[in-house]
Amino acid sequence: MDGLIIPGGESTVMGKLLADMGMADTVRHMIVGGLPVFGTCAGMILLAEKIDNGPGRSRSTFPATVKRNAFGRQLGSFSAVSAFGDQGDIPMESIRAPIITEVGKGVRVLSEIDGKIVAARYNCQLVTAFHPELTSDDTVHRCFIGMF
């Protein structure tokens, strides 16, 4: 396996399934060992070292604190345009989006919406609160592929 994408969805269920299927420790060791990983929305929650609200099973590989549903529930979903690193503005589709409330040493913030961190990178890990797969812009995916 060259890389791993942990998609959006229900982070609590995804974490439970990883644990129940005996995959949680294996996945964590692979990521810590250098496997490039891209966590989108729920994937970002699963990778975070800390979750500051609600239930969730963290893989504890990304040195950050994440707040679930930071923009509200389903009705708080929205579209935005904001800078992604030094790549310029890109479209961002957010569905019950989390945010990063605190970053650890070595984390590079890539994007913010209204002063809230929605994308970051740490070593071979990339996380976004938004869903780049829902747009035709491939900037985020090219960034991830560039990590190989």
Report which DSSP code applies to 23.
Answer: -
Establish whether 124 is a catalytic residue. Answer: no
Question: Which residues face 116 on adjacent strands?
Answer: 113
CA-based nearest residue to 92, from 116, 61, 68 = 116
Establish whether 133 is a catalytic residue. Answer: yes
Token pair belonging to 125: 């890990």
Establish whether 131 is a catalytic residue. Answer: yes
* Residues 90/6/112/72 CA torsion (nearest 10 deg): 110
List the catalytic residue out of 10, 41, 112, 143.
41
List the catalytic residue out of 49, 131, 141, 143.
131
Q: What are the E-state strand segments in the chain?
A: 4-6, 37-40, 48-51, 62-67, 78-83, 89-94, 99-103, 108-113, 116-122, 125-128
List the catalytic residue out of 49, 93, 133, 141.
133
Which residues are catalytically annotated? 41, 131, 133
